[in-house]
Amino acid sequence: MLRTAVAAGVEVCFANPGTTEMPLVAAFDAVEGMRAVLCLFEGVCTGAADGYGRMADKPALTLVHLGPGFANGIANLHNARRARSPVVNVIGDQATWHLAADAPLTSDIVSLARPVSGWIRSVTSAKSLARDTAEAIAAAGGAPGQVATLIVPSDCQWDPADGIARAIAPAAARRVAPEAVRRAAELLRKSSSPALFLGGQALRERGLLAASRVCVKTGARLLSETFPSRVERGAGRPATERLPYFPEQAIEMLNPHDTVVLAGAKAPVAFFGYPKMPSHLIPEGRKVEVLAEPTDDVAASLEALADEVGAPRDGAVRAQLSRPAKPTGALNPATAGAAIAALMPENAIVVDEAATTGGPFLAISATAPRHSYLGLTGGAIGQGLPCATGAAVAAKDRRVISFQADGSAMYTVQALWTQARESLNVTTLICNNRSYRILQVELHRAGVSEPGAKAKALTDLSRPDIDWVRLARGLGVAAVRVESADALVVELGRALHEPGPNLIELAL
Amino acid sequence: MLRTAVAAGVEVCFANPGTTEMPLVAAFDAVEGMRAVLCLFEGVCTGAADGYGRMADKPALTLVHLGPGFANGIANLHNARRARSPVVNVIGDQATWHLAADAPLTSDIVSLARPVSGWIRSVTSAKSLARDTAEAIAAAGGAPGQVATLIVPSDCQWDPADGIARAIAPAAARRVAPEAVRRAAELLRKSSSPALFLGGQALRERGLLAASRVCVKTGARLLSETFPSRVERGAGRPATERLPYFPEQAIEMLNPHDTVVLAGAKAPVAFFGYPKMPSHLIPEGRKVEVLAEPTDDVAASLEALADEVGAPRDGAVRAQLSRPAKPTGALNPATAGAAIAALMPENAIVVDEAATTGGPFLAISATAPRHSYLGLTGGAIGQGLPCATGAAVAAKDRRVISFQADGSAMYTVQALWTQARESLNVTTLICNNRSYRILQVELHRAGVSEPGAKAKALTDLSRPDIDWVRLARGLGVAAVRVESADALVVELGRALHEPGPNLIELAL
């Protein structure tokens, strides 16, 4: 199994194994080329595999223990599914002949796996394990990527295998039909107020450059989805306007446009339903044209569209490098975002799970040095620290900035330990506002302007205050706390250039 | 919904809400008699509800956020399912009319819930919500208890309800037929080497006293399942011999017995399948008789059996109070267990997720002051700290001793924060052996006597060492580290009588 995976180009396994995975654990030492990274909670394994997949554009393995162990990884697989990240889960299960005994850890793994997996197989024999592995890897790598889950009973691990299976080429992205390109071009030409709405692979550099050519030529507004898998941003790249999170603001942004062309994104919907608000954010009566589905070859379709509308090859608008001044004074979302934009090194990877603290960073960093930006695609919190961990494994020469809300960070805080063990170059900024601030906003939106004591307590992370410096140090990560923008600038300036992980607690 | 729950006797909700639960969050302040306990991870909510259910013998609510939030709670619901604990999950979902939009957090909740739920319902209207709630509570409370899951779209929370629904009586335990009692009595009389194997409700005081009468009268050996939901133990109660974890030792224990009568337990099976080991632990050819299924009225059936075999009413053997000496010298599983048994106050609740460190405690504590013992029923680790949290909420006048392995504790370390916020009387002992020790044992059992560097690294929790004192203090819990049995005795003696939570890290 491991040799088949290596032959297919898989290099990393994020593992939290148990007894049913012992034959695989023992096998790691017999195989060259497969790095095993121990995570102390399965949600770290799956979130790391998601982050790795977004940066490496190929799958890592996760190795987890039966249904309950897998279940701990579901939330971040949900994010991976929404990100269309390539991930291969390997779930050890009871021996085939032991399943019927219904031992304590036995459960219906397929039922648990189905909601987050595009491909699932239960292995039935060691003889087919290599082939099953090759197929799982090919399934995960099918453009743009998906979660593939392989359930491997322990006897299928310890029985002799039938050699190595050859790698199978994953499905390539579908080419977009020329008619779709012509239709989109026609609509853009006819429209007086068009918008081009990007998502998924369209937000990589090639797609963005083509989309910018289209927009310059046709006057279309360049918009992008709210929670992208990965955006290539900063100096030298075209900037997009991100669709706001709250539906009334999103509708306001889309309202002026009579035509919306979708590339790599589904038509945007509200994150949640609210009374008297619609599900779909593009107002009724607009012309909506799908240039490319998320599974299509989006970049090629955008280039074809740019050519079709007659945009010059060098017609993209690229952001000019311009850092904000180093902020001073009070620490708040604006100064936190400015500090990152002022100090981030070139080619940084920014993992953004900063929630209500994160907003200002995006606007101010469009002209910062070029960087990759990874978003919370599925809304399942606890994604940031693991995703940063996996991104750092995938891109060891790049600094990872893990811009992180406190409430969400508590979900998968174990990731810090793996960052320490693997000496990963991750700088975590914990935005400690001692609350589930978004829920306080949502309570207010729901008309509860004066929440009672119980409702307040359910959105409040104080009593006791969490001491992030102690938590980080307890898990082996160097940490400091800052209470002003000036102190953040000093500490961040140092942290970004120290090898290995570190953490800064922002007292907001 | 909340008033219906209060009317049905439900008093506590372990909550980690999100936007789709805001109407319920706001409602807590309008309802008397429902305590809302914030947990910073859903696995804490569900594990706490499990511990609460085991001690209170009635359900608490959990309140969690859509599929991914629920998924974070699955592992501990797996334990609750195996414990047959009464639990009512309330999962907020997208508004009914917003589901089709497939917003980022939308997923197939029913598929996730089915493997851990005995009862599931998706609410379709606010009009039925009160009735659905009453039915969920009744389902959870059906003897001996089960996990009931209610999926509540947000519009079913904010639309007007139709008043309160009256409580529905949960299903009572099934009475055992007199023929089953007579058959069991006949077999016990005929056997030269009988055993009575107890599980579930048989391990409460009433069942144990009746079982002891049977064993004294018939010469049967009194055995109990390996991972019980709750055992009433210590001075004044009959002691049982626990079936060992590893199958060869379990088979050795069962082998001398030609007859095994089961009461409240299924026939024991191996925790995992191993090459050339059977699934079922009772050797072939033995007479196996089911006196009572786990869902039957087990205590009544044991009392009927005791009468049937002619055991005197006062014929039970009760353990005599005898504490071990306070240990001195090196800290190890034996001295750790002895320290707890030497110092535990009467009516303590011991939550045992100490894994490889836990063994000696059980033997030495059979004659300690009476206590309740809660085991890792489903084998899904990360159960101990949450279960202790819920047990402490259910039994505020009793000290909870959370005897806890380090690797497992990392899974749901967030529970410490809730213990601090709620000022719960929990003393946590972290057995820090810096390893997944059980996996090192299992590797050895699998024939890997000299694991390679990668296999070693996957079972090793050092590099970096986890500092549990810092972690606990970071989450608001007072903590100390001890490196000898003498120091443990001093610190534990103090900790057990301090109000509120505290933690002792045992450097093993």
Distances (CA, A) of A213 to A205, A237, A372, A445, B243: 12, 12, 21, 39, 72
Nearest-5° angle of CA B228, CA B363, CA B231?
25
Task: With CB atoms and an 8 Å threshold, state whether A467 touches B474.
Answer: yes
In chain A, the residue whose alpha carbon lies closest to the alpha carbon of B441 is A19
* Omega prior to B144 cis, within 30 of 0: yes
Chain A partners within 8 Å of B78 (Cβ): 67-68, 71, 105, 107
Chain A partners within 8 Å of B420 (Cβ): 464
Per-residue pLDDT, averaged over B474-488, amounts to 98
Q: What share of chain B is helix, strand, coil (3-state, %, to 5)?
A: 40, 20, 40
Task: With CB atoms and an 8 Å threshold, state whether B439 touches A38.
Answer: no
Query: Testing the interface with B: which of A454, A462, A502 to mutate, by most B Cβ within 10 A?
Result: A454
In chain A, the residue whose alpha carbon lies closest to the alpha carbon of B73 is A72
- The distance of A333 to chain B (nearest Cα, Å) reads 22
Q: What is the pLDDT of residue A267?
A: 98
Sign (positive or negative) of CA dihedral B263, B267, B269, B275: positive
Rg (CA), chain B: 23
Task: With CB atoms and an 8 Å threshold, state whether B464 touches A455.
Answer: no
- For chain B, the first-to-last Cα distance in angstroms comes to 48
In chain A, the residue whose alpha carbon lies closest to the alpha carbon of B228 is A104
Q: What is the pLDDT of residue A382?
A: 98
Chain B partners within 8 Å of A443 (Cβ): 22, 25-26
- The distance of A339 to chain B (nearest Cα, Å) reads 26
- The distance of A300 to chain B (nearest Cα, Å) reads 26
Q: What is the pLDDT of residue B78?
A: 98
Q: Residue B22 is nearest to which of A28, A115, A446, comparing CB atoms?
A: A446
Q: Residue B28 is nearest to which of A78, A407, A454, comparing CB atoms?
A: A454
Q: What is the pLDDT of residue B422?
A: 98
Task: With CB atoms and an 8 Å threshold, state whether A439 touches B115.
Answer: no
Q: Residue B101 is nearest to which of A29, A154, A280, comparing CB atoms?
A: A280
A–B: how many Cβ contacts below 8 A? Answer: 313
Report how far residue A96's alpha carbon sits from residue A123's, in angstroms, rounded to the nearest whole number: 9
- Contact criterion met (CB below 8 Å) for A98 and B279: yes
Tokens representing A456 are 């307040």
Exposure pattern of A350-374 as b/e (b: 16+ CB <10 Å)?
bbbbbbbbbbbbbebbbbbbbbbbb
Q: Residue A41 is nearest to which of B95, B410, B459, comparing CB atoms?
A: B410
Chain B partners within 8 Å of A457 (Cβ): 36, 38
The chain-wide mean pLDDT, for chain B, equals 98
How many residues comprise chain B?
Answer: 508
B399-424 pLDDT tens trace: 999 999 999 999 999 999 999 999 99
Q: What is the pLDDT of residue A129?
A: 98
Task: With CB atoms and an 8 Å threshold, state whether B411 touches A474.
Answer: no
- The distance of B344 to chain A (nearest Cα, Å) reads 27
B15-31 pLDDT tens trace: 999 999 999 999 999 99
In chain B, the residue whose alpha carbon lies closest to the alpha carbon of A436 is B18
- The distance of B93 to chain A (nearest Cα, Å) reads 9
DSSP B198-237: E-GGGGSHHHHHHHHHHHHHH--EEEE-SS-S-EEESTTS
Task: With CB atoms and an 8 Å threshold, state whether A111 touches B115.
Answer: yes
- Contact criterion met (CB below 8 Å) for A153 and A123: yes
Report how far residue A15's alpha carbon sits from residue B79's, in angstroms, rounded to the nearest whole number: 22
Q: Which amino acid is at A87?
A: V
Distance of CA B347 to the CA centre of its chain: 17
Task: With CB atoms and an 8 Å threshold, state whether A451 touches B154.
Answer: no
Task: With CB atoms and an 8 Å threshold, state whether A75 touches B71.
Answer: yes
Banded model confidence at residue B279, pLDDT cuts 50, 70, 90: very high
- The distance of A106 to chain B (nearest Cα, Å) reads 8
Task: With CB atoms and an 8 Å threshold, state whether B38 touches A457.
Answer: yes
B85-108 pLDDT tens trace: 999 999 999 999 999 999 999 999
User: pTM of this prediction?
Assistant: 0.98
- The distance of B181 to chain A (nearest Cα, Å) reads 26
Strands (E), A342-454: 348-353, 371-374, 400-405, 426-432
Q: Which spans in A205-355 are helix H?
A: 205-218, 247-254, 298-308, 333-343
Report how far residue A214's alpha carbon sits from residue A263's, in angstroms, rounded to the nearest whole number: 12
Per-residue pLDDT, averaged over B466-473, amounts to 98
- The distance of A217 to chain B (nearest Cα, Å) reads 32
Report how far residue B27's alpha carbon sits from residue B19's, in angstroms, rounded to the nearest whole number: 14
Chain A partners within 8 Å of B475 (Cβ): 464, 466-467, 471
Q: Residue B111 is nearest to which of A28, A115, A154, comparing CB atoms?
A: A115
Q: Residue B464 is nearest to which of A271, A452, A476, comparing CB atoms?
A: A476
Q: Find all residues with CB under 8 Å of B227, minimum gap 6, and list them.
A: A104, B82, B375, B376, B377, B378, B379
Q: What is the pLDDT of residue B183?
A: 98
- Contact criterion met (CB below 8 Å) for A66 and A106: yes
Query: Testing the interface with B: which of A11, A14, A19, A90 to mutate, by most B Cβ within 10 A?
Result: A19
User: 3-class DSSP state for residue B340?
Assistant: helix
Task: With CB atoms and an 8 Å threshold, state whether B108 touches A97.
Answer: no
Burial class of residue A323 (count of CB atoms within 10 Å of its CB; 0-12, 13-18, 19+): middle
Q: For tokens 């799958």, what's the residue?
A: A59
Q: What is the pLDDT of residue B416?
A: 98
Specify the pairing of strand B12-15 against strand A35-38: unpaired
Q: Which spans in A18-107 are helix H?
A: 22-27, 42-56, 66-72, 74-83
Task: With CB atoms and an 8 Å threshold, state whether B38 touches A452.
Answer: no
Chain A partners within 8 Å of B114 (Cβ): 108, 111
Tokens representing A229 are 């898998």
Q: For tokens 């570190």, what's the residue?
A: A502
- Contact criterion met (CB below 8 Å) for A250 and A270: yes
Q: Residue B36 is nearest to which of A67, A454, A465, comparing CB atoms?
A: A454
- Contact criterion met (CB below 8 Å) for B180 and B263: no
Task: With CB atoms and an 8 Å threshold, state whether A270 touches B98.
Answer: yes
- The distance of B122 to chain A (nearest Cα, Å) reads 17
Chain A partners within 8 Å of B279 (Cβ): 97-98, 100-101, 103
User: 3-class DSSP state for residue A469?
Assistant: helix
Task: With CB atoms and an 8 Å threshold, state whether A279 touches B98.
Answer: yes
Q: Residue A273 is nearest to which of B155, B275, B421, comparing CB atoms?
A: B155
In chain B, the residue whose alpha carbon lies closest to the alpha carbon of A72 is B72
Q: How many CB atoms lie within 10 A of CB B96?
A: 17
Tokens representing B191 are 């056997």
Report how far residue A414's alpha carbon sits from residue A410's, in angstroms, rounded to the nearest whole number: 9
Task: With CB atoms and an 8 Å threshold, state whether B380 touches A105.
Answer: yes
Chain B partners within 8 Å of A105 (Cβ): 78, 271-272, 378-380
Report how far residue A312's alpha carbon sits from residue A203's, in angstroms, rounded to the nearest whole number: 20
Task: With CB atoms and an 8 Å threshold, state whether B101 touches A41.
Answer: no
Chain A partners within 8 Å of B452 (Cβ): 26, 28-30
Residues of chain A with pLDDT under 70: none
Report how far residue B33's alpha carbon sits from residue B3's, in angstroms, rounded to the nearest whole number: 9
Task: With CB atoms and an 8 Å threshold, state whether A25 touches B275.
Answer: no
Task: With CB atoms and an 8 Å threshold, state whether B74 touches A74.
Answer: yes
Query: Testing the interface with B: which of A272, A385, A503 to mutate, by most B Cβ within 10 A?
Result: A272
